[in-house]
């Protein structure tokens, strides 16, 4: 397992609340917590930028980190990310901020220390663009969205 350097910004992280970790051997993401001082009531349609309490530095251009909603909160309460997916580049060193959006119809209460998002580290392949006149034919070609059918 690779190591990822993190800097603790909120001293409650790692003492009052555990550091992010994988819940199981098969987990892809580590849960991030709301490092806030008091309950936040997120009204329907409202967004808030919530600190994670830590900064990270991937320090490898072949890696990026993505922030994703926790599926239970998104499905049951409507708490998703304001930017849908957060992207953290390998050279970023600042605090991870979680943009939360209440897309549901009721108020969502976010408690201090509550797990509100997950962090997934993914490989990155940087490419250069090659301008061509046409592509080699493929089975799909320019079929568009839904072209392959619904079944």
> Could you tell me whether strands 115-123 and 30-33 are parallel, antiparallel, or unpaired per DSSP bridges?
antiparallel
Q: State CA 52 to chain mean position distance.
A: 11
- The annotation status of 70 as a binding-site residue, yes or no, is yes
Is residue 89 part of an annotated ligand binding site? yes
Contact 75/69 with Cβ under 8 angstroms? Answer: no
- Annotated binding-site residue? 59: no
Residue 138 assigned as binding residue: no
15 is in an annotated binding site: no
Going by the annotation, the residues of the binding site for substrate are 70-72, 83, 87-89
Q: Which residues are annotated as a binding site?
A: 70-72, 83, 87-89
């Amino acid at each position: 397992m690779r190591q990822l350097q993190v800097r603790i910004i909120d001293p409650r992280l790692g003492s009052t609340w555990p550091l992010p970790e994988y819940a199981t051997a098969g987990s892809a993401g580590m849960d991030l917590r709301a490092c806030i001082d008091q309950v936040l009531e997120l009204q329907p349609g409202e967004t808030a930028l919530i600190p994670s309490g830590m900064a990270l530095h991937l320090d490898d251009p072949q890696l990026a980190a993505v922030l994703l909603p926790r599926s239970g909160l998104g499905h049951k309460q409507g708490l998703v990310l304001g930017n849908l997916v957060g992207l953290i580049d390998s050279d970023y060193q600042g605090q991870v901020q979680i943009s939360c959006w209440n897309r549901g119809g009721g108020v969502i209460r976010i408690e201090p220390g509550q797990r509100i998002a997950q962090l997934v580290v993914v490989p990155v392949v940087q490419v250069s663009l090659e301008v061509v006149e046409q592509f080699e034919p493929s089975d799909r070609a320019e079929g568009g969205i839904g072209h392959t059918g619904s079944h």
